[in-house]
Amino acid sequence: MELQDILYSQGFGTRRVCAGLVQQGWVQVYDGSAAEQPVPCTDSTSEWPLDGLRLRVQGVDWECHAKAYLLLHKPAGTECSQKPSTYPSVYSLLPVPLRQRPSKSAVQGVQAIGRLDQDTTGLLLMSDDGQFIHRMASPKKHVPKVYRVTTKHPVDAAQIAQLLAGVVLDDDPKPVRAAACELLEPHQIDLTLTEGKYHQVKRMLAAVGNRVEGLHRWRMGRYDLPADLAPGQWRWLTADDLQRLVAKD
């Protein structure tokens, strides 16, 4: 792919802007040489392999990916919306190129996969791959999601039994049940869900006579939120990460 088209695909601006960046000397390429230093490239039509290509654009290193698969440690006080109403958007935590990646088919650039409430923290996936978004978000795929829930009142055995057996929410007569529920402390449980209804954890706890005081998603599939990823930070997902996300027990 031509270098100007690679830059465009990565979100560095229009094709004209990207060609200008190259021609003005703002783009260097890691060409795999032993020196491991990027070399200047001023030919915007020079061809390079896209996936895994490493660039330095205006002094900032960038690894190119044909499709974006991202992990964000969502902090409290942020909204999973492109047009937030009250709190800052989680998209503001991403670098500008990721926010500007061009749309792919029906997917409008990088999208959050499912929504976490503004006060909910933890593992949030983002992608511009429509098939991957559907695979991870569709209730029919039954991807387990584990939430660490801090409750207002102590959780007793009867409440755990109710959550596992199923509770009825006000918008659906069909009971919704937890796939697993582990008591960690009197006021803390790990709740595993395979659906994604609106405010589901909070409503399920309310249905058994309790209240959620803190909510943190730390696992999806077999993939755990990395301990070294601080709130507000993001990273690319590796092929191994993606495999663990979709792996079945």
Q: Which of 22, 7, 29, 30 is nearest to 97 (CA)?
A: 7
150, 215 contact by CB (below 8 A): yes
15 in helix, strand or coil? helix
Q: Which of 223, 227, 235, 212 is nearest to 117 (CA)?
A: 212
71, 237 contact by CB (below 8 A): yes
Q: Which two tokens stand for residue 161?
A: 């039994």
Catalytic residue selected from 5, 31, 117, 190:
117
**What Cα–Cα distance (Å) separates residue 109 from each residue in 7, 106, 185, 225?**
15, 9, 41, 24
221 in helix, strand or coil? coil
Q: Is 117 part of the annotated catalytic residue set?
A: yes
153, 211 contact by CB (below 8 A): yes
So which residues are the catalytic ones? 117
